[in-house]
Chains A and B, each alone.
Chain A
Amino acid sequence: MTQIPLLSLIIWVPIIGGIICMFAGDDRKATRARCIALFTAFLNLMLCIPLYTHFDNSTSAMQFVENVDWIAKFGIHYQLGVDGISVLMVILSTITTFLVVIASWKPIQKNVAQYMAAFLIMQGMMVGVFESLDAILFYVFWEGMLIPMYLCIGMWGGPRRTYASIKFFLYTFLGSALMLIALLYLRTKSNDFNILSFYSIKLTMHEQVYIFIAFLFAFAVKIPMWPVHTWLPDAHTEAPAGGSVVLAALMLKMGIYGILRFSMPITPDASQHLAGLMIVLSLIAIVYIAIVAIGQSDMKRLIAYSSVAHMGFTTLACFVVYKIVARTGDLQDAYLTLEGGMVQMLSHAFSTGAMFLGVGVLYERLHSREIGDYGGVAHKMPLFAAFFMLFALANVGLPGTSGFVGEFLIILGSFKASYVITLFAATTLVLSAVYTLWLYKRVFFGVVTRKEVESMKDLELPEYLVLGILAFLVLFIGLYPNALLKTFHTSIGHLLELSTTSKL
Chain B
Amino acid sequence: MTPFTIPDFLPAASEMFTLGMICVVLLAYVFFDKNNRGITYFLAQLTLMGAAVICILLYDHANEITFNGSFIIDQGSLLLKIFILISTVFVLMYSRVYIKERNIPHGEFYLLVLFSVFGMQVLVSAYSFLTLYLGLELLSLPLYAMIALRSDQASCQEAAMKYFIMGAIASGLLLYGLSMIYGACQSLDLQTVAAMMNLSLQSQSLMLVLGLVLVSAGALFKLGVAPFHLWVPDVYEGSPNAMALFIATAPKLAGFALLLRLLAGAMPALFSHWQSLLIAVAVLSMAVGNIIAIVQDNIKRMLAYSSIANMGYMLLGLIAGTSRGYGSALFYIIIYVIMSLGAFGVITMLSQKGFEVEKIDDFKGLNARNPWLALMMLLIMFSMAGVPPSAGFFAKVGVLESLVKVHMVWLPALALVFAIIGAYYYLRVVKVMYFDEPMEKAPIFVSSFDTQLAISVNGLAVFFLGLFPTGLIELCQKAFLA
Contact = CB atoms under 8 A, between A and B. Distances in A.
A404 interface: no
Given A70-B470, A181-B413, A140 B389 contact: yes
B470 A72 contact: yes
A185 B403 CA distance: 10
Given A146-B387, A184-B412, A166 B424 contact: yes
Nearest to B419: A177
A165 B435 contact: yes
B320 to A, nearest CB: 12
A181 B473 contact: no
A136 B473 CA distance: 16
Q: How large is the interface on A (under 10, 10 to 19, 20 to 34, 35 or more residues)?
A: 35 or more
Interface string B365-390: 00100010001000000100001110
Contact of A140 (B393, B417, B424, B474): B393
Interface in B384-441: 387-389, 393-394, 397-398, 400-401, 404-405, 407, 409, 412-413, 416-417, 419-420, 423-424, 427-428, 430-431, 434-435
Contacts of B430: 150-151, 154
A22 B367 CA distance: 12
Given A136-B397, A154-B435, A181 B416 contact: yes
Contacts of B407: 188
Interface string A153-165: 0110000011001
A143 B427 contact: no
B369 to A, nearest CB: 12
A139 B404 contact: no
A487 to B, nearest CB: 30
Contacts of A111: 367
Nearest to B470: A71
Chain A interface, DSSP helix/strand/loop, else mixed: helix
Contacts of B397: 74, 136, 180, 184
A206 interface: no
A412 interface: no
Contact of B473 (A73, A139, A141): A73
Contacts, number: 93
Chain B interface, DSSP helix/strand/loop, else mixed: helix
A390 B223 CA distance: 64
Interface string B334-375: 000000000000000000000000000000000100010001
A107 interface: no
Given A73-B473, A74-B473, A143-B387, A178 B413 contact: yes
B477 interface: yes
Nearest to A111: B367
Contacts of B387: 143-144, 146-147, 173
Residue among A141, A155, A169, A187 facing the most chain B CB atoms (10 A cut-off): A169
A187 B398 CA distance: 13
A150 B382 CA distance: 11
Interface string A234-274: 00000000000000000000000000000000000000000
Contact of B388 (A139, A150, A161, A184): A139
B435 A162 contact: yes
Nearest to A156: B435
Contacts of A154: 430-431, 434-435
Nearest to B388: A140
Nearest to A113: B371
A147 B375 CA distance: 12
A177 B389 contact: no
A335 B469 CA distance: 42
Contacts of B474: 72-73
A188 B417 contact: no
A181 B409 contact: yes
Contacts of A178: 413, 416
A179 to B, nearest CB: 10
Interface in A359-389: none
Nearest to A72: B470
Contacts of B473: 71, 73-74
A185 B393 contact: no
Nearest to A214: B413
A155 B434 contact: yes
B420 A173 contact: yes
Contacts of B394: 71
A170 interface: yes
Interface string B445-482: 00000000000000000000000011001100100000
A185 B434 CA distance: 37
B477 A184 contact: no
Given A143-B388, A144-B389, A170-B423, A74 B401 contact: yes
Contact of B469 (A71, A143, A166, A177): A71
Nearest to B401: A184
A397 B388 CA distance: 39
A162 B364 CA distance: 14
Interface in B165-213: none
Residue among A73, A144, A161 facing the most chain B CB atoms (10 A cut-off): A73
Interface in A32-70: 69-70
A22 B424 CA distance: 26
Contacts of B417: 174, 177
Residue among B398, B424, B431 facing the most chain A CB atoms (10 A cut-off): B431
A73 B389 CA distance: 18
Nearest to A154: B435
Contacts of A72: 470, 474
Contacts of B388: 139-141, 143-144
Nearest to B406: A188
A147 B378 CA distance: 10
Contacts of A180: 397, 400, 416
Contacts of A22: 375
Interface in A54-99: 69-74
Contacts of B375: 22
A181 B389 contact: no
Those 3 A-B pairs whose CB atoms lie nearest each other, nearest first? A177-B416, A140-B388, A184-B404
Interface of A: 22, 69-74, 111, 114, 136, 139-141, 143-144, 146-147, 150-151, 154-155, 161-162, 165-166, 169-170, 173-174, 177-178, 180-181, 184-185, 187-188
Given A71-B394, A140-B388, A169-B427, 18 more contacts: A72-B474, A114-B371, A141-B388, A143-B387, A144-B389, A166-B428, A169-B423, A170-B423, A170-B424, A174-B417, A181-B400, A181-B412, A181-B413, A184-B400, A185-B409, A188-B404, A188-B405, A188-B407
17 contacts: A69-B470, A71-B470, A73-B470, A74-B398, A74-B401, A114-B367, A114-B371, A143-B387, A144-B387, A144-B389, A147-B382, A162-B435, A166-B427, A169-B427, A178-B413, A184-B404, A187-B401
